[in-house]
Structure 1
């Protein structure tokens, strides 16, 4: 399960980054904001997993 959460975090970060870049390229502020939010969600998930790993070892 932890590996699944880590890959999910990376996927969210990548999708968010792509969406943010696409939004900037076409000048769509909403898409840029959605991408930023999605990337932040992935960052938070990754931080949570790193915290769990720190206590596990």
Structure 2
């Protein structure tokens, strides 16, 4: 392989590497956002379930 060919391939790989790193960063951001949303939904579900049990005692009617 000639120097010029090697240099071109190297530059292509650098460009691809840069694009892949950007994609990884974007995916990590998406995952973090989804985790936050899922956490909020679970907290809301827990609050709803907690509200359903408020006021129930052994003497509550079935």
TM-score under structure 2 length normalisation: 0.49
Greater than 3 Å deviation, 4+ residue runs: none
Task: Flag the structure with larger Rg.
Answer: 2
Higher relative contact order, chain-length normalized (CA < 8 Å, sep 6+): 1
The answer for unaligned runs of 5 or more in structure 2 is 32-62
Structure ranking higher in helix proportion: 1
Count residues in correspondence: 31
Give the root-mean-square deviation of aligned CA atoms: 0.5
- 1:39 paired with 2:26, answer no
